[in-house]
Structure 1
Amino acid sequence: MVAFKVPGMTCGGCAASVRRALGAVAGVEDVQIDLDSKDVRVDGTPSADALRTALDKAGFEADGLPVA
């Protein structure tokens, strides 16, 4: 499990974009988002680099995502 914040996620559309982008990463089993706190939890075995790349391509940045 990897947990981090996505401060730029401000609405339901943003949350859906983040969920879709992260869900497409190899090894991701589930993505849980708390829009109010901007918290994202990813279950599975994805690499931090792949998660970061997916978020970058979707136009978001992560705070607290581990550096591989």
Structure 2
Amino acid sequence: MTTLSIPDMSCGHCRASIETALAAIPGAGPVRFDAEARTASVEGDAAPETLIAALDGIGFPATVLR
């Protein structure tokens, strides 16, 4: 599991956009969101760099927490 900090995630629309982008990545599994902490935990074996690049591409810069 990879947990990402996504500081610009602030609403349900943001969450939907992020979920759609991550779902398109091979190896990325289900995503769990923590709206208060502004994090997303991604199951699967997708490379963290790939997850970050996908989110950056839709305007949501992210960093890996763990």
- TM score, norm. by length of structure 1: 0.86
Alpha-carbon shift at residue 34 of structure 1 (Å) = 1.3
- The list of structure 1 runs, each at least 4 consecutive aligned residues, that deviate by more than 6 angstroms after superposition, is none
What is residue 27 of structure 1 aligned with on the other side?
A: 27
Deviations 1:14-51 (A, max 9, x none): 01111111111110111111112101100000011210
Q: Which structure ranks higher in relative contact order (CA pairs < 8 Å, sequence separation ≥ 6)?
A: 2
CA RMSD of aligned residues (A): 1.2
What is residue 43 of structure 1 aligned with on the other side?
A: 43
- TM score, norm. by length of structure 2: 0.88
Q: Could you list the runs of 5+ residues in structure 1 that have no partner in the other structure? A: none
CA distance in 2, matches of 1:8, 1:34: 13
What is residue 10 of structure 1 aligned with on the other side?
A: 10
